[in-house]
Amino acid sequence: MGLGNVEWTPEPRELADLELLLSGAFEPLTGFLGHDDLHAVHERGRLADGTPWPAPVTLHLDAEVAPGDEVTLLDPEGLPLAALTVSAQEPDGLTSGRIKGLGTPEHGPFARLRRTPAEVRDELGGRAALVVTMRGPLDDLSEIVATAKELDAVIVLLALSYGEAGPAVVRAALRAQERLPAGTLVVSVPLAPRAEPEIDLELREHVAAAYGATEHLAGPEPVSIPGPPHRRGLVVFFTGLSGSGKSTIARGLRDALLELGSRTVTYLDGDVVRRLLSKGLTFSKADRDLNIRRIGFVAAETARHGGLAICAPIAPYAATRAEVREMVESVGADFLLVHVATPLEECERRDRKGLYAKARAGLIPEFTGISDPYEEPDDADLVIDTTHITIEAAVSQVLETLRSGGWVR
């Protein structure tokens, strides 16, 4: 049974595809693909009706909807971008249907360089166009200049500005524009890369054609060389039961790193975050997950700019920890999961705050380890049991892991 009118904020990749659907860059698509079209694209590189189309363009909704329902798709700031009229929804949440624009996209950078294909074709006014799609710098412009001269064409640089690498691609396009003939256009297009190079190239061909390409040149793929670990952002994420010693180890690690002075350190303690960032949240599963996501978001933003963040929540659920890892790694930073695996009996014996006693008495519902599960990580980078070792020894173990990984010198 559908919910009538639903509001939904798509994932970043879905949002990028939505923008291209709305601009006409994904013509002839008029909305998100359903099961039959998706199967045909995977099998034959065509839509179900036989129209050539290289890549999946999909939307997944957690909310249950029915055919005919309208879903308002929002940008990350909550502004309506498009209305989706649902044609079908699969059990896994894959939702298809036509879309209609509700406003010009304003989220994300490079607003002045966003142009629809129709706007660019109008500016070309029927002139030939050499469209160059870029995911990295253009080292050699001579081929572009020679081809444009041969075609008597205007050069259009489509900076494929999706994700973390986006700003660098746009800067590279603007630098290239300065060295290319007058009249060269730069357009920011948030085309998310596809995993298979042939499919990615074919999709770039489609988008270039939408922008009026007489001929399309695909710029070289960027060579990604990650910086040395001690310059990369890092999140050290401690997880473990209440009383396991994780907060104490995390504080000890913070102090040790501050003494070394070689990294900028941000410390996000679970209790402090709950009082400030997550004030008002309960201890229900949904609110606990939200609390961890908030910690993860702040940690990832710290690491995005090369900082080192230390987090020490209980984080009992594997799926939420995996989300945080993904958040951190998606900004180009590293993630180190430390499981403080002190057994429940030892944590309960310590019970510094008297919480276990209250939980046993039924005064605290949904208490991790007593009335709510703790999912032990199977992807921990370091496991520490503090039953028989000092806090100093535990801190030394973490610090040694950071040193051996090259994150601390």
| CA within 13 Å, CB half, 207 | 32
Q: How confident is the model at residue 336 (pLDDT cuts 50, 70, 90)?
A: very high
In 3D, which of 174, 164, 109, 112 has the Cα closest to residue 138? 174
Residue range 116-143: average pLDDT?
Answer: 95
Strands annotated E in 119-233: 129-134, 154-160, 185-189, 215-218
| pLDDT score at 297 | 94
- Burial degree of 42 (CB within 10 A; 0-12, 13-18, 19+): exposed
Residue 352 has pLDDT above 90, yes or no: no
pLDDT digits (tens, 9 = 90+) for 131-151: 999 999 998 899 999 999 999
pLDDT 10s digits, 286-300: 888 999 999 999 999
Q: What integer best gives the mean pLDDT of the chain? A: 92
* pLDDT tens, position by position, 230-272: 889 999 999 999 999 999 999 999 999 999 998 999 999 767 7
Is residue 156's pLDDT more than 90? yes
Say yes or no to pLDDT of 196 above 70: yes
80: phi then psi, degrees, rounded to nearest 5? -65, 130
Sequence-separated (6 or more) residues with CB below 8 Å from residue 263: 230, 234, 257, 307, 308, 407, 408
pLDDT tens sequence across 370-397: 988 899 999 999 999 999 999 999 999 9
- DSSP line for 247-280: HHHHHHHHHHHHHH-SS-EEEEEHHHHHHTTTTT
* Residue-level pLDDT at 4: 54
Average confidence (pLDDT) over 184-191: 97
Q: What is the DSSP string of 39-65?
A: HHHHHHSB-TTS-B--S----B-SS--
Count Cβ atoms within 10 A of the Cβ of residue 352 and give its class: 0-12 exposed, 13-18 middle, 19 or more buried.
exposed
What does the pLDDT look like over 50-69, one tens digit per residue?
999 999 999 999 999 999 99
Return contacts of 287-291, CB within 8 angstroms, 24+ apart: 288/316, 288/317, 288/320, 289/317, 289/320
**What percentage of the chain exceeds 90 in pLDDT?**
77
84 neighbors 18 (Cβ within 8 angstroms): no
Tokens representing residue 113 in the block: 């360089």
- Report pLDDT digits (tens) over 16-45: 999 999 999 999 999 999 999 999 999 999
Using the predicted structure, report yes or no on whether residue 360 has a pLDDT greater than 80: yes
Confidence class for position 122, pLDDT limits 50, 70, 90? very high
Query: Is the pLDDT at 103 greater than 60, yes or no?
Result: yes
Check residue 239 and give its pLDDT.
96
Q: How many angstroms separate the CA atoms of 59 and 331, rounded?
A: 22
As a whole number, mean pLDDT of residues 307-331 equals 94
Query: Which tops the pLDDT comparison, 203 or 165?
Result: 203
pLDDT at 107 over 80: no
**What is the band of 225 on the pLDDT scale with cuts at 50, 70, 90?**
low
Residues 281 and 337: beta-carbon distance below 8 Å: no
Contact call for residues 359 and 220 (beta carbons, < 8 A): no
